[in-house]
Amino acid sequence: MHKSLLIDPAKCTSCLQCELACSFENEGVFNPAKSRIKIFEFEHGRKAIPYTCTQCEEAWCLHACPVEAITINEETGAKEVNESICVGCKVCTIACPFGTVNYNSDSGKVIKCDLCGGEPQCAEACPTGAIVYVDSDWTGYLRMRDSAVEQHS
């Protein structure tokens, strides 16, 4: 059974611990601008929503890559960018409907969440439990849709 990140925006305080942990794990620096998870603030900071790659089953980024630099990690299920193959064309950034594949101008390659090899540091660092790593059955499109329907009922 694969696991996924489950994000609960109601618990997010916009502390940026997830962004710092991600940037340090993946880039070796504490720099939110280099993080693969981002915090969007709404209503002048009154609401904060963490967002990152949802590891879509359809994986449009994977299918769009002309050099097949995005592959599925069989152990974690994560769609991962192989930097040695990536040519930095950015087609995957356009294909992603959620905007969670980004271009790293330092490397000239694209970056996206890879679940830190099964130990996502954003979830480890989150002090409020707004980001947790759970069985994939607890996340996904149907859950998001049901939640949206509940909030608008």
For 84-135, how does the pLDDT look when each residue is reduced to its tens digit (9 = 90+)?
999 999 999 999 999 999 999 999 999 999 999 999 999 999 999 999 999 8
How do the domains of the chain map onto residue ranges? 1-52+118-153, 55-112
User: What is the tens place of the pLDDT at every residue in 14-70?
Assistant: 999 999 999 999 999 999 999 999 999 888 878 889 999 999 989 999 999 999 999
- Band of residue 148 on the pLDDT scale cut at 50, 70, 90: low
Residue 150 confidence (pLDDT)? 66
Domain 1-52+118-153 has CATH 3.30.70.20: yes
Residue 144 confidence (pLDDT)? 56
Mean pLDDT along residues 123-151: 77
Residue 76 confidence (pLDDT)? 95
Residue 139 confidence (pLDDT)? 58
Query: Is 84 in a helix, a strand, or coil?
Result: coil
| 3.40.50.300, 3.40.50.150, 3.40.50.1100, 3.30.70.20: CATH of 55-112 | 3.30.70.20
**Cα–Cα distance, 34 to 22 (Å, whole number):** 8
Whole-Å CA distances, 23 to 37, 113, 146: 9, 11, 32
Tokens of 43: 């209503």
